[in-house]
């Protein structure tokens, strides 16, 4: 079964008192992610409505012997899209083949992938919005009719050959739903936008991960890490490792509330989960561009950052918590964003419609 790094939509125990398991041995980043990744729906924490719907679809496919419909998962990085693909394959009892849009750079690569699939296997394509147009067009008949058209030879002697494919399930993941073409979207039977995780789910994820790697942690320590993790399991697991280091050097190895808060302060992750880049982004809008509106290209140039990084990593969370707003003329800092930066908002600043109070 092919494996690949990525999302950590981790599950978790309900309480800090759950019986500990033997800690896993971590030898690499990939091993770390694989060790903390939930393997079944029962282990998966959060995204409850999505999981309930998937349970029904997967059970129907498994019990009736038909291939699961093609599913598309969208959302910011780190919310569990790759994890969901692994869970679905495990629950179906089929092999999962993992690749990414940029890796399928020509039609022959796609043909090789599709012909290597077994009956009812799952093919996961991460960053599916980055497929080239020619590859995408050849994917349509494979998704609809389980056939692949291939030309053998060149020029007037070329011969079209239709290759039958096994009935498979395509699981796609994207951080940029808007970049997917309408024909490709129409061929997925199920679309779902993953949301940032609720505080209780994030705390449970931290507790589970700490239990798996054998790090003592109390409820206050888990909560402190969870609330600074931007509602994102991958970030929570990364911060857990950094706090573990501080606890081992500055304390007795146990992660408690004060040591977690001190470590995260030193790592420049503030109480809302914003890091140095997030605060620099807000600072540029508030102070250099008088709160906006300002275009994303101007912000990227001011920060010497790629536009894609800002749009895919920084902005989704700032929009979610209501620190910025997107307008037809550009990005605008809200009153909540000014307040977070310790600045006085101008009277024209929008109040912000995020869920800062609800999420964190």
How far is 25 from 325, CA to CA, in rounded Å?
A: 43
Tokens (6 digits) for 329: 């003329």
30-34: long-range pairs with CB below 8 Å, 24+: 30/3, 30/5, 32/237, 32/241, 33/5, 33/6, 33/8, 33/237, 34/3
How far is 235 from 239, CA to CA, in rounded Å?
A: 6
Identify any residues that bridge with 325 across adjacent strands, giving them in sequence order.
332
Tokens (6 digits) for 159: 């011969």
How far is 255 from 245, CA to CA, in rounded Å?
A: 10
* CA-based nearest residue to 284, from 269, 271, 297: 297
Indicate which residues carry an active-site annotation. Answer: 81-82, 126, 175, 234
């Amino acid at each position: 079964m092919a494996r690949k790094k990525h999302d950590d939509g981790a599950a978790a125990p309900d309480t800090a008192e759950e019986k500990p398991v033997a800690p896993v041995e971590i030898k690499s980043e990939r091993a770390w992610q694989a060790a903390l990744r939930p393997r079944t729906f029962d282990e998966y924490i959060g995204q409850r409505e999505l999981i309930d719907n998937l349970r029904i679809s997967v059970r129907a496919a498994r019990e009736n012997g038909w291939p699961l419909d093609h599913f598309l998962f969208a959302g910011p990085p780190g919310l569990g899209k790759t994890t969901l693909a692994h869970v679905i394959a495990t629950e179906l009892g089929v092999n999962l083949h993992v690749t990414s849009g940029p890796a399928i750079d020509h039609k022959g690569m796609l043909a090789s992938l599709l012909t290597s699939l077994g009956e009812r296997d799952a093919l996961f394509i991460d960053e599916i919005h980055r497929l080239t147009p020619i590859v995408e067009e050849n994917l349509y008949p494979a998704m609809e009719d389980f056939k692949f058209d291939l030309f053998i030879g060149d020029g007037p002697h070329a011969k079209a050959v239709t290759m039958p494919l096994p009935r498979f399930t395509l699981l796609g993941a994207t951080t940029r739903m808007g970049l997917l073409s309408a024909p490709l979207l129409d061929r997925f039977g199920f679309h779902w936008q993953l949301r940032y995780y609720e505080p209780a789910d994030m705390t449970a994820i931290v507790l589970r991960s700490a239990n798996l790697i054998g790090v003592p942690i109390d409820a206050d320590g888990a909560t402190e890490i969870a609330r600074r993790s931007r509602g994102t399991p991958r970030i929570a697991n990364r911060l857990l490792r950094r706090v573990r280091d501080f606890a081992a050097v500055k304390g007795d190895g146990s992660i408690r509330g004060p040591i977690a808060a001190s470590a995260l302060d030193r790592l420049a992750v503030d109480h809302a989960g914003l890091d140095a880049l997030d605060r620099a982004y807000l600072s540029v809008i508030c102070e250099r561009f008088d709160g906006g509106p300002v275009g994303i290209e101007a912000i990227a140039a001011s920060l010497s950052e790629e536009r894609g990084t800002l749009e895919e990593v920084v902005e989704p969370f700032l929009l979610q918590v209501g620190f910025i707003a997107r307008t037809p003329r550009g990005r605008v800092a809200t009153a909540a964003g000014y307040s977070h930066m310790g600045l006085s908002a101008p009277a024209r600043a929008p109040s912000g419609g995020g869920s800062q109070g609800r999420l964190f």
